[in-house]
Chain A
Amino acid sequence: MADDGVLVRVRDVHKEYRRGGERIDVLQGVDLDIPRGDFLVLMGPSGSGKTTLLNLLGGLDVPSRGAIEVAGERIDRMSHGDLARWRARHVGFVFQLYNLLPVLTAERNVELPLLLTGLPRSERSRHVAAALAVVGLVGRAKHYPRQLSGGQEQRVGIARAIVTDPTLLLCDEPTGDLDRKSGDEILDLLEALNARYGKTIVMVTHDPHAAARARRRLVLDKGLLSGDGIG
């Protein structure tokens, strides 16, 4: 990792898709530095490339060109398999629609990323309990997603994202499907994770109210970051 405290370094990143023979330039040369411990919000209109950038930062997709370095590792050069291993180790994802597995209880959902580690069952249970405690859902460990409210489901989603103590937490519209009260609770939780546990968070949102909670806000428009993403 670089010594300047930058956890994520994005340089001249382009992403283009082809749809029916037409080329769509979603990102057109993005430069961005994210310091360790930052709470960054990406805003912008629909189709501006927010989620695409988030996917690139999380190693779910690879840039058409440009460089992405996370904690000193060039993830844009990684193979498909290496990216999967890297994601398991370094990234926690929080989705708008929670994306919990309906057939598993809250604790089994939270345990999923730990299945990829070599931890024995007892250790996994300990980590799961700790993560559920952080999000305040110890009493709901045995509940299935259908038995939880939207806010509780999102908390389980956050517990799943932090259970492996990832380097980077990526949230795609985490309050987008929640009412204001539940949304605020989730934002409180993310703030606490950032302030108390030093988690580096990148959040995509449309909601100015949610964006106000972040330390830093950047706007993406037509594939370009407006304002200075670096420094």
Chain B
Amino acid sequence: MRYFSLVWRSLLRKKTRTIFTVLSILVAFLLFGYLGAIRQAFEGGVELTGADRLLTLHRVSLIQLLPVSYKSRIESISGVKEVTCSTWFGGTYQDPKNFFPQIVSEPQGVLDLYPEYRLPEEQKVAWLANRMGAIAGRQIATKYGWKVGDRIPIQATIWRKKDGTADWQFDLVGIYDGVEKGTDTTQFFFHYDYFDETRMFAQGMVGWFVERIADPGRAAEIARDIDDTFANSRYETKTTTEKAFAQGFANQVGSIGAILRSVLLAVFFTILLVAGNTMAQSVRERTGELAVLKTLGFSDGKVLGLVMAESLLLSGIGGSLGLGLAWLLIQRGDPTGGALPIFFLPMRDLVRGVGLVAALGVATGVPPAIVALRLRIVEALRRV
């Protein structure tokens, strides 16, 4: 703290230059934080998937259906504890733009296999009792202003009803929250029984099965047993861990992480040059002053420390403002207005951001600090 005033005043020597450098660092870390939240939205589901859950789909593709009768056969396979089935509904709410995941499901199966969804007890009972009942995640309910007791109309894009219409009605009996921060709360679940008896076609068929297994260490073996059971049948299956499935799904969107990392790399490289040039210029301009400090008895190490402290302070101010601003913007919600399943700045990225702030400070401070360290008093004073 003894030297803080000296470091601070040196930083303010050229206010305009310092402000623009801080702004450029701020923008870099704002992007880092904001793009980090977007990357998390695409990849976060992969990290939060259950380690003890497998997914069984049609061998050919996700849109090919499987017979619901497979459920009891899968249940009988050694190592499988529970099984439930699901189907992609793919409807919209009020406007074709209002698209979110609607999953046809078995309520008891959802409640048993997805402990990460937290639903009040009375809402669980209500859902199990009401065949037209549906539950929605907090994020999607908040987005559309839904509350328990509302009737929710969903316009089907795939599944017409027997009467030929595409208008499906559901009673919202529950709103679930996530146990963890990154849990997806943008989904809408409703009864398979109601769906199956009301839909126009494909009765007795489902989209995929979810299995809970006793020992995650045997996942590959159990997956193979399931697929072997249905080998050479009309509906061959492909079973993977939920994590592998989520990863594959995320990869379909493109390698968002790699794209974002490339953008950030370019941004940081530019900022490194900007901040590095500022520090180098600042030290060059102060050769005489640094020589005076050495004359007064400041050791080489102390002068090096002062330059490094200045660089770290510059980077620290810009970086913390950038990360702070990113955090504030992220609190205001995702840029798509709620279409992203999760949107938050993960603690891991925040810690990485702080590390990057320090790294930027060191990288831009070391070259001028070494110049200051090597400065020979007599020669520098001669140049004053």
Report which A residues bind B (CB closer than 8 A).
55, 58, 60-61, 80-81, 84-89, 93, 95, 97, 99, 101-104, 108, 112-113, 115-116, 160
Tell yes or no: B298 within 8 A of A by CB: yes
- Partner of B297 from the list A55, A61, A84, A101 (CB cut-off 8 Å) is A84
Taking CB atoms, residues of chain B closer than 8 Å to A104 are: 5-6, 9
The answer to whether B2 touches A115 (Cβ under 8 A) is: yes
Q: Can you identify 28 A-B contacts, CB atoms within 8 angstroms?
A: A55-B378, A60-B295, A60-B378, A81-B301, A84-B294, A84-B297, A84-B299, A84-B300, A85-B297, A85-B299, A87-B296, A88-B298, A93-B296, A95-B292, A95-B384, A97-B384, A99-B289, A99-B384, A101-B9, A103-B13, A104-B5, A104-B6, A108-B6, A108-B9, A115-B3, A115-B6, A116-B298, A116-B302
The answer to whether B293 touches A93 (Cβ under 8 A) is: no
Report which B residues bind A (CB closer than 8 A).
2-3, 5-6, 9-10, 12-13, 288-289, 292-302, 377-378, 381, 384
The answer to whether B12 touches A89 (Cβ under 8 A) is: no
Total A-B pairs, Cβ < 8 A: 67
The answer to whether A116 touches B292 (Cβ under 8 A) is: no
Taking CB atoms, residues of chain A closer than 8 Å to B297 are: 84-89, 113, 116
Interface majority SS (helix, strand, loop, mixed), chain B: helix
Please list the 8 inter-chain residue pairs (A to B) with the smallest Cβ-Cβ separation, ordered nearest first: A88-B297, A103-B9, A84-B299, A87-B297, A99-B292, A113-B296, A60-B377, A61-B378
Closest A residue to B9 by beta carbon equals A103
Q: In the bound complex, what is the Cα–Cα distance between A101 and B298 (angstroms)? A: 14
Given contacts A116-B298, A160-B296, 6 further A-B pairs with CB under 8 A are: A58-B295, A84-B300, A87-B297, A95-B292, A103-B12, A112-B296
Closest B residue to A112 by beta carbon equals B296
Taking CB atoms, residues of chain B closer than 8 Å to A80 are: 300
- Partner of B293 from the list A60, A102, A112 (CB cut-off 8 Å) is A112
Closest B residue to A121 by beta carbon equals B2
Q: In the bound complex, what is the Cα–Cα distance between A101 and B10 (angstroms)? A: 9
Closest A residue to B301 by beta carbon equals A81
Q: In the bound complex, what is the Cα–Cα distance between A231 and B381 (angstroms)? A: 32
The distance from the CB of B315 to the nearest CB of chain A, in whole angstroms, is: 20
Taking CB atoms, residues of chain B closer than 8 Å to A112 are: 6, 293, 296
The distance from the CB of A61 to the nearest CB of chain B, in whole angstroms, is: 5
